[in-house]
């Protein structure tokens, strides 16, 4: 069992923020196994799950100008119009917002949606209610990022803490030039990321669709089609 867990760790790419947690799980598993062998097996499985949570796979990001890709892995929870958080100074007008919910089995590394420059970073403390609830966008702890694209348009990315998430990591700084698909942070352990599209840009995803961070195209500034609907079909 321990050999299997070690081989699993060797086979996947791990985000650096995960190693302290994996080490703690591994030490606890070893101690439990020393006391009672079956507990060691359970601990090895939990250690493997912790490594799985902090996995950081490579992604193939589409590079055409004007494409906006998902900032997170998970299910598209809402596609609606809402005003961006006031602290990002993006105006009070409503624009399309795509919210992607990450459960504890999704990749939690977050990625930049489009080429541009980080114009603003704003952190706001708050509550830790279930991130799948609409009120989470307003009341939960969050880290906001305003990105100015090459054509001057701006978009917002908001990392929102969830019910058991207690740590938002954001590794970019104001004024930094960034590329679509570039890693910029993560949220521990299960949460959501909202992307506020540039004014006048329609989303190309629908509620219930699974998004892949850095790969799934949320919108195209050149597209002329209206917002999409979707349905589950047999």
Q: Which are the catalytic amino acids?
A: 191
In the Cβ-directed half-sphere of 175, how many Cα atoms lie within 13 Å? 0
At residue 175, φ and ψ (nearest 5 deg) are 90, -5
Query: Could you tell me where the DSSP H helices lie in the chain?
Result: 2-11, 19-35, 37-53, 136-139
d(CA 67, CA 61): 10
- Token pair 């399309």 is found at 96
| Three-state secondary structure call for residue 192 | strand
How remote is the C-alpha of 86 from its chain's centroid?
Answer: 21
165 and 190 in contact (C-beta within 8 Å)?
yes
DSSP 102-134: E-TTS--EEE-SSSEEEEEEEEE--B---TTST
């Amino acid at each position: 069992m321990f050999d299997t867990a070690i081989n699993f760790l060797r086979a996947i790419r791990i985000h650096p923020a995960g190693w302290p947690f994996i080490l703690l799980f591994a030490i606890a598993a070893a101690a439990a196994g020393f006391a009672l062998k079956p507990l060691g097996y359970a601990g090895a499985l939990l250690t493997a799950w912790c490594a799985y949570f902090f996995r950081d796979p490579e992604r193939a990001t589409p590079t055409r100008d004007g494409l906006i890709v998902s900032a997170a892995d998970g299910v598209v929870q809402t596609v609606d119009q809402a005003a961006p958080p006031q602290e990002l100074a993006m105006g009070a007008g409503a624009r399309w917002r795509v919210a992607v919910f990450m459960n504890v089995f999704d990749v939690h590394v977050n990625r930049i949606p489009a080429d541009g420059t980080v114009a603003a970073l704003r952190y706001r403390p708050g509550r830790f209610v279930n991130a799948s609830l609409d009120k989470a966008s307003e009341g939960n702890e969050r880290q906001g990022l305003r990105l100015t694209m090459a054509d001057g348009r701006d978009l917002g990315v908001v990392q929102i803490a969830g019910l058991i998430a207690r740590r938002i990591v954001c590794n970019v700084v104001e004024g930094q030039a960034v590329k679509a698909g570039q890693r910029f942070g993560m949220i521990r352990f299960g949460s959501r990321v909202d992307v506020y599209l540039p004014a006048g840009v329609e989303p190309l995803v629908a509620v219930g669709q699974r998004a892949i961070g850095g790969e799934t195209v949320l919108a195209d500034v050149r597209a002329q089609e209206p917002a999409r609907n979707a349905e589950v079909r047999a």
